Structure 1
Amino acid sequence: MCGRLTQVWRYPVKSMLGEQLRSATVDSRGVAGDRRLAVLDHDTGRVGSAKRPRRWSALLGVRATGDAPDRVRLTLPDGTVHAHPDAGLDAALSRLLGRPVTLTGTVPADALLDRADPDAVLAEGLDADVPVTGNPLGGAAPAGSLVDFAPLHLVTTASLDALDLPREALPRYRPNLVVETDVRSFVENDWVGRELLIGPEVVLRVLAPTPRCAVPTLAHGALPREPQALRRPARRNRVVPLPGLAAQPCVGAYAVVVQGGRVSVGDRVEPI
């Protein structure tokens, strides 16, 4: 199956809204400038992530743009704009989140983020105090990475179609690369273990389907809450993402970079 690259995204700050690009450089850490900064909780030492929505969902009301870790601009829900670094930024984020935090590009090597159990979220609601687990960062990424698991996340329009969700829902799944296809299935599942050529030079190796948490159901800026963004994957694409894990609702796929270079909207995408 071949496709075309139709969207390129980067998220300079973990769990904040990001920005669409026409092209980007891709290397072993993923899209240049992607997830180079994160909010660190002073009290717990954990990385702020909307995977625990009861505590961190407000992060998805902040838009981060620019080439992290420098020249990043944060637009808060009230419209105020802060540059990074900025002496007043930590205080503004702490007020927004209701707890003392620091925006940083360096977190402790053993830092964890909290992930709420997605089935409990579906059963009890986004605001419920549901069980959480502490997950390490970047298990398949270079040391010091702030990504959840792997440097790149792909989502196809085929998966959105299979979920009967509009294309406007794509940002809910926080992809780096969106691939347009002419089929209607969870084709990313079939890419696991294969390599993809994107444009003339970038080669990715697909590692695993992407397990979904509560994040797609949350409000993303102007996008309202949408519980079907998790309920439908739970019904239609519950698969085992990695050996040793239970079956989970999945949308998209994680990948590592075999050969870096530039990617641009319109590039051909094909398994090799």
Structure 2
Amino acid sequence: MSDAVAAGTGRRIGTVGALRRYPVKSMLGEDLSAADVTERGVDGDRRFALLDPRTGKVASAKNPRLWRRLLTLSAATTEDGVRITGPDGAELDPDALVEFVGRPVTLTAEPPPGASLDRADPEEVLHAGPAADVAVHAVGLPAGTFFDHSPLHLLTTATLDRIGELSPRGTVEVQRYRPNVVIRTEGGSGFVENGWIGRDLTVGPRLRLRITVPTPRCAVPTLAHGVLPRDPEALRVPARHNRVEPLAGMGPHPCAGVHARVLVPGRIARGDAVLLH
């Protein structure tokens, strides 16, 4: 397929402002200048996860009481796999990792059959705090992956700016929402991604995406991320101003950003044009 066919006709809506991957689920990730994107998402994204041998479930900060400290760890891709470092920058071996999280865990690149994680009700976490023992429910992951729903998560600067405007803090950090691609929008304001559902994007010369659903937000944006402190408003603002129904029957959820699946793989880089079809 030629680049011209892949791009087709479309309206330019912005450029790639940032690229991110997260080598270990629920840990801090890496900034990239360019990346290959396939049907499995950004190369190396969510390649690893921690498994809890007591429950057989994937460790996720969506259950903050048990796993919120994962968001203070950093994961970086290496030739041999992944390097995990603590808040002080020291590398953690498997024993040190277990000691840090306070529970037995196993680092794996092999999603178990029927993999799932526990997701706390974000409204309850807002009310009771991240250390509270609130209700959780199991969420199944797509077969053979550590993704929650889709291989790619997109967020616009228009949405980030709007959340910042509505927040008492006057700002919100992009790291809290853990996108793969930040689109620097040209024109438009507010939660512009809501209007993209079911439409296609071309990113760079070749990558073609289908926008599938709004991204429902869990408690994760409210938690401390590395040196960033807690920020409940990162969830409260979407809860007040952008409650939409991600899927029929789910009911309204606080949303920010969108999920996408890959129609045509391609390599993208910061500054690449983004077209909406």
Query: Structure 1-normalised TM-score?
Result: 0.93
Specify the code of the residue in structure 2 equivalent to 1:78.
Answer: D
Q: How many residue pairs align between the two structures?
A: 261
| Identity between Structure 1 and Structure 2 (%) | 53
Specify the code of the residue in structure 2 equivalent to 1:120.
Answer: E
Q: Residue 85 of structure 1 aligns with which residue?
A: none
**Change in 2 beyond 3 A, CA 1:28/1:167:** farther
- 2:88 & 2:78 partners in 1: Cα distance? 23
Q: Residue 129 of structure 2 aligns with which residue?
A: 125
Contact 2:164–2:171 (8 Å) recurs in 1: no
Contact 1:65–1:72 (8 Å) recurs in 2: yes
Q: CA RMSD in A?
A: 1.4
Offset from partner CA, 1:76-116 (integer Å, 9 cap, x none):
1232114xxxxxx3222111111100000112111210100
Offset from partner CA, 1:210-257 (integer Å, 9 cap, x none):
000010001100111100000000000011001120110001000000
Specify the code of the residue in structure 2 equivalent to 1:42.
Answer: P
- 1:145 and 2:156 equivalent? no
The 10-residue stretch of structure 1 (245-254 or 58-67) with the greater mean CA deviation from structure 2 = 58-67
Q: Give the secondary structure class of the aligned counterpart of 2:46.
A: coil
- 1:16 and 2:27 equivalent? yes
Specify the code of the residue in structure 2 equivalent to 1:96.
Answer: F
- 2:72 & 2:144 partners in 1: Cα distance? 26
Question: What is the CA distance between 1:167 and its match in structure 2?
Answer: 6.7
- Unaligned ranges ≥5, structure 2: 1-10
- Unaligned ranges ≥5, structure 1: 83-88
The 10-residue stretch of structure 1 (23-32 or 178-187) with the greater mean CA deviation from structure 2 = 178-187
- 1:212 & 1:102 partners in 2: Cα distance? 27
Q: Residue 219 of structure 1 aligns with which residue?
A: 224
Q: Give the secondary structure class of the aligned counterpart of 1:81.
A: coil
- 1:245 and 2:250 equivalent? yes
Q: Residue 255 of structure 1 aligns with which residue?
A: 260
- 1:72 and 2:82 equivalent? yes
Q: Residue 86 of structure 1 aligns with which residue?
A: none
Describe how 1:156-235 pairs up with structure 2 within 5 A.
156-164=156-164, 169-181=173-185, 182-235=187-240
Q: Give the secondary structure class of the aligned counterpart of 1:164.
A: helix
Contact 2:160–2:172 (8 Å) recurs in 1: no
Question: What is the CA distance between 1:162 and its match in structure 2?
Answer: 1.6
